[in-house]
């Protein structure tokens, strides 16, 4: 963008009055995006999720607002994101002709509807957030992080009640509200007659919650490290991060720990000089003491659980390997466009014995359902997200060279989201959450960030230039 275009861009942003309703709907969508248990059973294996409702309302309100204002301006980021949606739709529709049964077509239409809403939220969200101030961006970001944190709090009390009284928190709350009455917390097995629980929170699977927690842990950690001494969020963030690690461990999710480990390796490069400081060691030490106290009371129990979750030849590990072995026969049938979107469960029912069983790996789903073309297209989409994060990191470095305090927020945000994206990708090798709503909300924040903070940086630079001009 040229210097001459900046004032016009600023005027356009200032003229955009937005809508309080749109803000509320976007914030509600970001907050509720991981609450997959909050749903209504419609019968015939169909459910209406609360995230479907808030997302659809936001998209409808956004389009109505643009139409009412006759605002047809489309930014470059919105255009690129929309182009990706169209490209994915072409791949999916070509794959539709590979379907053979009515059940396959039903699954395909359900998956296509979900993907369309996911991308609609992404596109409309980017179009809305990129025109607003950093305040709206941070509030959207905060609602997203807060929603995952509330999910973790629910999971903590879910585990606490199950351990102390065997009570089912889902039935106590969701069942009484007339929402979908799920089976409650996951039971991994028994040790010495005692149940081994895996926290699910408001998600449908403990590994779903575990992989979702990778994002706040990796994104908030560098932001916490860069907070100034005495900042009002420093202590709350330290407590929150320690708590989220505790809940992460209670999910017993190996895929989540893999993703967290990869993300921490990424963060070790820019923040290795800060890892031995009290702001890291104190909350980490407090968490270690809590864990040591809990484990000391039931050492044998936890040792057995640990051995069960680290066995390389366990049944769960074999299941994941079997799914990867099924990629080749699928590609032999339909090499370029796969078996059809969302049809893995139907095609491999002979192996799983269930009609709604997922492939337990996002990459298995990509290859089998969309073939080489769909997988390559998704790779290009990921490259685009990394390029957006690269632009944000460069912006942070530029702000730091100018001595702008905004660098202390932009740079850690960029590194945290980079680590979060890589960590989520690693976790999805043995699980699949990148097709869920929350990942599209994360992509929204990634795509919009360089525009929002780039405009703010230009505004601050122009203001500093004006001050220099009037100095005697």
Per-residue pLDDT of the chain (472 residues; tens, 9 = 90+): 444 444 444 444 444 455 789 999 999 999 999 999 998 877 776 788 899 999 999 999 999 999 999 999 999 999 999 999 999 999 999 999 988 888 888 889 989 998 999 999 999 999 999 999 999 999 999 999 999 999 999 999 999 999 999 888 998 888 887 776 566 888 888 887 888 899 999 999 999 999 999 999 999 999 999 999 889 999 999 999 999 999 999 999 999 999 999 999 999 999 999 989 999 999 999 999 999 998 888 888 778 888 777 776 555 666 666 778 788 888 888 899 999 998 887 777 655 566 666 677 899 999 999 999 999 999 999 999 999 999 999 999 999 999 999 999 999 999 999 999 999 999 999 888 999 999 999 999 999 999 999 999 999 888 876 555 544 4
Q: How many CA atoms lie within 13 A of 272 on its CB side?
A: 5
Classify 175 in phi/psi space as left (phi over 0), alpha (psi -120 to 50) or beta: alpha
CA 379/CA 372 separation, integer angstroms: 10
Q: C-alpha dihedral over 351, 352, 356, 357, to 10 degrees?
A: -110
Distance CA 472, CA 470 (A): 6
pLDDT at 281: 93
Q: Quick one: pLDDT at residue 181?
A: 58
Residue 436 pLDDT: 93
Contact 125, 148 (CB under 8 A): no
Q: What is the pLDDT of residue 11?
A: 44
According to DSSP, the residues that pair with 195 across neighbouring strands are 190
- Residue 196: count of CB within 10 angstroms of its CB: 17
What pTM did the predictor assign?
0.91
Alpha-carbon gap, residue 443 to 447, rounded angstroms: 6
Torsion of CA 347, 352, 354, 359, to 10 degrees: -60
Sequence-separated (6 or more) residues with CB below 8 Å from residue 445: 137, 140, 141, 144, 417
d(CA 262, CA 438) in angstroms, rounded, equals 20
Q: Which residues pair with 197 in a beta bridge?
A: 187
Give the pLDDT of residue 54: 94
Rounded-to-integer distance, Cα 127 and Cα 76, Å: 10
Return the number of other C-beta atoms located less than 10 Å from residue 119's C-beta: 19
Domain spans of the chain, in order of start? 13-452
Look at the block and give the residue holding tokens 């926290």: 199
- Cα torsion through 5, 6, 7, 13, rounded to 10: 110
Between CA 86 and CA 90 the distance in angstroms is: 6
Say if CB 77 and CB 130 are below 8 A apart: yes
- Residue indicated by tokens 């309703």: 21
């Amino acid at each position: 963008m040229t210097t001459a275009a900046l004032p016009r861009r600023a005027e356009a942003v200032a003229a955009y009055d937005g809508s309080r309703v749109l803000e509320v709907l976007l914030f509600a969508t970001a907050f509720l995006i991981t609450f997959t248990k909050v749903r209504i059973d419609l019968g015939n294996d169909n459910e209406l999720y609360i995230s479907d409702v808030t997302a659809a309302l936001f998209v409808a309100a956004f389009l109505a607002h643009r139409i009412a204002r006759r605002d047809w301006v489309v930014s470059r980021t919105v255009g690129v994101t929309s182009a990706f949606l169209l490209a994915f739709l072409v791949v999916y529709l070509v794959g539709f002709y590979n379907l053979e049964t009515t059940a396959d077509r039903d699954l395909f239409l359900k998956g296509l509807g979900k993907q369309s809403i996911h991308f609609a939220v992404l596109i409309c969200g980017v179009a809305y957030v990129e025109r607003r101030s950093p305040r709206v961006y941070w509030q959207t970001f905060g609602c997203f992080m807060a929603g995952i944190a509330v999910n973790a709090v629910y999971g903590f009390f879910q585990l606490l009640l199950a351990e102390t009284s065997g009570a089912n928190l889902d039935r106590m709350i969701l069942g009484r509200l007339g929402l979908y009455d799920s089976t409650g917390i996951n039971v991994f097995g028994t040790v010495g007659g005692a149940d081994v629980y895996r926290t699910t929170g408001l998600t449908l699977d403990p590994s779903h919650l575990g992989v979702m927690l990778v994002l706040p842990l990796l994104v908030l950690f560098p932001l916490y490290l860069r907070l100034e001494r005495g900042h009002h969020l420093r202590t709350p963030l330290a407590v929150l991060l320690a708590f989220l690690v505790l809940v992460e461990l209670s999910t017993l999710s190996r895929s989540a720990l893999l993703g967290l480990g990869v993300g921490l390796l990424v963060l070790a490069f820019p923040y290795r000089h800060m890892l031995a400081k009290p702001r890291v060691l104190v909350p980490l030490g407090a968490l270690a003491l809590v864990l040591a106290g809990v484990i000391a009371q039931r050492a044998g129990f936890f040792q057995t659980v640990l051995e069960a979750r680290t066995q390389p030849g366990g049944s769960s590990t074999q299941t994941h390997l079997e799914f990867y072995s099924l990629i080749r026969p699928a590609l032999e049938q339909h090499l370029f466009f796969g078996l059809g979107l969302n049809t893995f469960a139907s095609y491999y029912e002979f192996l799983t014995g269930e009609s709604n069983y997922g492939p337990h790996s996002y990459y298995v789903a990509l290859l089998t359902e969309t073939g080489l073309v769909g997988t390559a297209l998704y790779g290009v989409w990921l490259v685009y997200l990394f390029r957006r994060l690269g632009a944000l990191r460069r912006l942070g470095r530029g702000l730091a060279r100018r001595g702008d305090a905004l660098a202390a927020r932009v740079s850690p945000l960029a590194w945290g989201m980079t680590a979060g994206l890589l960590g989520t990708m690693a976790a999805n090798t043995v699980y699949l959450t990148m097709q869920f709503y929350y990942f599209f909300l994360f992509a929204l924040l990634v795509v919009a960030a360089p525009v929002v903070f780039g405009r703010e940086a230009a505004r601050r630079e122009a203001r500093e230039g004006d001050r220099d001009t009037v100095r005697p």
